[in-house]
Amino acid sequence: MGFMEYLRLAISSLYQNRLRSLLTLLGIVIGVASVITMVSIGEGARVEVVGELEGLGSTMIFIQPNYLDQDVMMGKPVAMSLEDVDLMKRSSPSLSYVSPQITARGIVKLGNREKRTTIVSTNDEIAWMQGLGMADGRFLSESDIRSRRTVLVLGWQLANELFEGESPVGRRVRVNDVACDVIGVMKRRGQRAFSGGMDSEDMYAYVPVTLARRAIGTERVQVVLAQARDVDSVRTAREEIEGFLRRRFGRDHKFRVESAESILESAKVIIGVLTAILGGIGSISLIVGGIGVMNIMLVTVTERTREIGIRKAIGARNSHILRQFVMEAVVLCLVGGVLGTLLGALGAHLVAALSPVPATVSPLAIVVAFASSSLVGLIFGVYPAYKAANLDPIQALRYE
Amino acid sequence: MEIPLPGGNSAGDIIVVEGVSKVYNTGHVKVNALKDVNLSVRSGEFVAIMGPSGSGKSTLMNILGCLDRPTSGSYRLDGREVSSLSPDDLAIVRNKKIGFVFQTFNLLPRLTALENVELPLIYAGVGPGERRERALAALESVGLKDRARHRPNQLSGGQAQRVAIARALVNNPAIILADEPTGNLDSKSGQEIMGIIMEMNVRGITVVMVTHDDDIAGYAGRIIYLKDGDIVGSEMKNEGRKAATSTIL
């Protein structure tokens, strides 16, 4: 008895019990669809985060408190002064740019209208480093920093909310009661999928680092963004910074030096785990669907006991019966796999359309969903089929 | 008990049962369904097995039909010892050597008459073209070629049983085992069915039939009486067979 024979037999049996087959199918469809959607979300997250990190450029280096250090976790303040940042730059010839980031919450006020947001006190090197474009005006310049000018650059959204369509450049606003002239508006950066509950960069206000004490009341630098001269000098630059930090703050300093690349690596690991967890959640519903298949196959076998008896009497071997019923379960699961893949792709597109996660259906997800749905068919179909195959022909023939 | 059998254990015997016992172990009670049964059936013979319910008829038929194995004893079918074959080997023997005709027809309701007749050939590994041809020929031999596309529920009882006979014949078996073949039929259909069985027998197919109807048993050339798992009598009915044959042909 050939493969096509079993296939034909399976399809005709399933067709006989249309409603039941359809309902059983639904379990598999939902299971496969959720695996596809979940894995697609994970994949979308990976693409988003990797793209974002790669956008920072592979020569970026971040110096920030080591948040995994116990002292830092317990709230021990870790910061360097602006002099330290200057010293760092001078002692690291492999760095082309160094930009301190003094960040604090503050109020930006225009007349009676005020916005509470994130104030970033930095120098002229950050915009260049991050390749941030300007929508209007210009970014902070070296002379702004040197001359401690009371100037301000607005994030795109902050500018819109404060000025409501009027041109902000040249207007005067107050940053925590320091009057500043708006010299530029950043380009829109867009919503990010993983903002971590922080203000969008479109809501930031940037002031010269030399204005930090006046505008935001602190000169303690927690985060420094630096850039190596080229890709090949990233490692040397990191070593120079590490050496400087050790000389300046001692061997057990609490800073962490990371390059975009090393962050990318750990982000990939984290998202890999995330994808696995999401896929696992999807798999649970696939398993539930599989149990549904097993359940219905057991009912089918019981209902068709007499048929099995007849087939055995006229010469069907155990393996014939086994294959017949396994084929039914596998066909059920494969059809469910196809429909589930379509539904899952639809789900992924909906997620991509309605949320910032650019969920994409990868070929891998489809392969995984297909493999797992046929595996489910095999696993949950084998036991009922085995039961059918091992029925005693005499008792099966007597079954009413 | 020993019954003197015509022809003895000669090479012409297609069924040779020697010292066959069957014990059912139902929990703590042992039931001796068959006790040391000896039976030979010559090739081309028509044997009826009679006996009250519980006499072991069904058990004997199950063993003869290779649906069950004896607890002890030997069963040679067409020269081959089959009493200790594996379930799969028994399935092959059933497929190639035995044609079953059941009281309740036992056709698969979802298949057409033709597909039902094709079933044994599918398990014998016969290709689709030859299968269709042979199944149609078998249906034609029972006069139902024009019902090939009908499903069992579209057939009368007599027609359904004829399809079942076609199914039993299609693989050219060595023996036909008929279990109350007319039990579910009116007397006219019953006579038709017995006519077909007689015709097969005349063409040389060995038939073993269980019945409790004396008239039906009258078609057989030999009647064997079973009681309490023992063969308690045997009766040759050569004239009956001749008479029946002549009325049909």
Please report, as a single letter, which amino acid is at residue B177: L
Q: Give the number of C-alpha atoms closer than 13 A to the C-alpha of residue A74, restricted to the C-beta side.
A: 5
pLDDT of residue B113 exceeding 90, the answer is yes
First to last CA, chain B: 38
Query: Which residues on B lie below 8 Å from A13 (Cβ)?
Result: 110
Sign of CA dihedral B142, B145, B151, B156: negative
Q: Which of A163-167, A235-239, A387-391, B9-13 is the least confident region?
A: B9-13
| CB half-sphere exposure, B201, CA atoms < 13 A | 28
Q: Which of residues 110-139 of A touch B (CB under 8 A)?
A: none
Tally C-beta pairs within 8 A across A and B: 60
Buried b (16+ CB within 10 A) or exposed e, A200-217: bbbbbbbbbbbbbebbbe
Sequence spans of domains, chain A: 3-52+266-398, 79-253
Distance in angstroms (rounded) separating the CA atoms of residues A386 and B233: 43
Vertex B179: Cα angle to B175 and B181 (nearest 5): 100
Would you give the distance in Å from CA A281 to the centre of its chain?
16
Residue B186 belongs to some domain of the structure: yes
The predicted pLDDT at position B7 comes to 41
Mean pLDDT, residues A235-243 taken together: 90
Predicted confidence band of residue A133 (pLDDT cuts 50, 70, 90): confident
**What local confidence, expressed as pLDDT, does residue B246 receive?**
41
Query: Which residues in chain A are closer than 8 Å to B94, comparing Cβ atoms?
Result: 312-315
- Range A273-285 average pLDDT: 87
For tokens 């059936």, the residue is: B41
Identity of residue A181: D
Dihedral angle computed from the Cα positions of residues A259, A260, A263 and A268, in that order, rounded to the nearest 10 degrees = -140
Q: Please check whether residue A97 is in contact with residue A128, taking contact to mean a CB–CB distance below 8 angstroms.
A: yes
Percent of chain B with pLDDT strictly greater than 70: 91
Chain B's closest residue to A309, CA to CA, is: B106
Q: What is the mean pLDDT of residues B43-47?
A: 95
pLDDT of residue B247: 42
Q: What is the pLDDT of residue B140?
A: 95
Cα distance between residue A365 and residue B34, in whole Å? 62
- A309 CB neighbours in chain B (<8 A) are 106
> Could you give the count of Cα atoms lying within 13 Å of B116 in the half-sphere of its Cβ?
33
**A interface test, pick of B95, B122, B130 with most A CB neighbours within 10 Å:** B122
Between β-strands A178-186 and A151-154, what pairing exists: parallel, antiparallel or unpaired? parallel
User: Residue B43: its pLDDT value, please?
Assistant: 94
Q: How far is CA B169 from CA A135, A356, B121, B128, B222, in A?
A: 90, 70, 11, 18, 22
Express as a percent the part of chain B with pLDDT over 90: 80
Rama region for A313: left / alpha / beta (φ>0; ψ in -120 to 50; rest): alpha
Q: How far apart are CA A104 and CA A120, in angstroms?
A: 7
Residues 359-398, chain A: which have Cβ within 8 Å of B? 393-394, 397
User: Which range is least confidently modeled, A121-135, A147-161, A200-214, A240-254?
Assistant: A121-135
Residue of B nearest to A318 (CA): B88
Tally: H helices and E strands in chain A? 14, 10
How far, in Å, CA of A198 to CA of A196, rounded? 5
CB contact under 8 A, A314 and B68: no
Task: Give the range among A192-196, B5-9, B104-108 with minimum mean pLDDT.
Answer: B5-9
Q: What residue in B sits closest to A391 (Cα-Cα)?
A: B87
User: Closest Cα to residue A218, out of A102, A327, A111?
Assistant: A102
Residue of B nearest to A321 (CA): B123
CB contact under 8 A, B108 and A310: yes
pLDDT in tens, A11-61: 999 998 899 999 999 999 999 999 888 888 888 888 888 777 776 667 888
What is the per-residue pLDDT for A360? 83
- Half-sphere exposure at residue A319, Cβ-oriented, CA atoms within 13 angstroms: 7
The confidence score (pLDDT) of residue B138 equals: 96
Q: Is residue B2 part of a domain?
A: no
Question: Which of A314, A318, A320 lies at the smallest CB-CB distance from B94?
Answer: A314
Which positions 277-316 of A are in contact with B (Cβ < 8 Å)? 306-307, 309-316
End-to-end CA distance of chain A: 28
Distance between CA A291 and CA A285 in Å, rounded?
10
Torsion, Cα of A286, A288, A290, A295 (10° steps):
-160
Domain-located, residue B1 = no
Residue type, A193: A
Q: Are B41 and B15 in contact (CB under 8 A)?
A: yes
pLDDT tens per residue across span B121-164: 999 999 999 999 999 999 999 999 999 999 999 999 999 999 99
CA nearest neighbour of B162 among B142, B181, B187, B182 = B142
Helix axes A234-249, A82-91, angle to 10 degrees: 130
Q: Give B174's DSSP letter.
A: S
pLDDT recorded at residue A124: 87
Q: What is the pLDDT of residue A200?
A: 80
pLDDT of res. A192: 60
- Tell me which chain B residues have a C-beta less than 8 angstroms from the C-beta of A319: 88
Q: Do A16 and B110 touch (CB under 8 A)?
A: yes
Give the pLDDT confidence score for residue B240 in this predicted structure: 47
CB A190 within 8 A of CB A126: no
What domain count does chain B have? 1
Residues of B with CB under 8 A from a CB of A: 62, 65, 67-68, 87-88, 91-92, 94-96, 100, 102, 106-108, 110, 119-120, 122-125, 167, 171
pLDDT band at A367 (very low <50, low <70, confident <90, very high): confident
CA distance A322 to A316: 10
Q: Is the pLDDT of residue B24 over 50?
A: yes
Residue type at B162 in one-letter notation: R
What is the pTM assigned to this prediction? 0.71
pLDDT beyond 80 at B241:
no
Q: Are A297 and A376 contacting, i.e. CB atoms less than 8 angstroms apart?
A: no
Say how far apart CA A262 and CA A299 lie, in whole Å. Answer: 55
CB-nearest partner of A394 from B67, B88, B124: B67
Q: Which of A314, A317, A319, A323 to mutate to test the interface with B (most CBs of B within 10 A)?
A: A314
The boundaries of the domain holding residue B31 are 13-248
Q: Is the pLDDT score of A130 beyond 70?
A: no
Q: How far apart are CA B70 and CA B78, in angstroms?
A: 17
Query: What kind and span of H or E run contains A104?
Result: strand A95-110
Average pLDDT, chain A: 87
User: In the predicted model, what is the mean pLDDT of residues B42-61?
Assistant: 93
Q: What is the mean pLDDT of residues A65-80?
A: 81
Interface contact flag, B91 A16, Cβ < 8 Å: no
Residues A238 and A261: beta-carbon distance below 8 Å: no
- Whether residue B4 is contained in a domain is answered as no
For residue B106, give the chain A residue with the closest CA. Answer: A310
CB atoms within 10 A of CB B53: 8
Q: Determine the pLDDT at residue B249.
A: 38
Q: Please compute the mean of the pLDDT values over residues B184-202 and round it to a whole number.
A: 93
Q: CA of B4, closest CA in chain A: separation in Å?
A: 31
Q: Which of A301-310, A359-368, B14-23, B170-179 has the lowest mean pLDDT?
A: A359-368
Of A122-126, A239-243, A319-323, minimum mean pLDDT range: A122-126
- Enumerate residues 6+ apart whose C-beta is below 8 A from A246: A253
Can you spell out the DSSP letters for A121-166? EE-THHHHHHT--EEEE----HHHHHTT--EEEE-HHHHHHHHTTS
Round to whole Å and give the CA distance between A138 and A150: 14
Per-chain mean pLDDT for chain B: 89
Contact (Cβ atoms closer than 8 angstroms) between residue A170 and residue A153: no
Distance CA B193, CA B176 (A): 13
Provide the 10 A C-beta neighbour count for residue A123.
24
A170-217 tens-digit pLDDT: 999 999 989 999 999 998 877 665 555 567 888 899 999 998 888 888
The DSSP bridge partners found for residue B227 are B230
Tally Cβ neighbours within 10 Å of residue B145.
15
Looking at residue A129, its pLDDT comes to: 64
* Distance, CA of A163 to CA of A109 (rounded, Å): 11
B233 alpha-carbon distance from chain centroid: 20
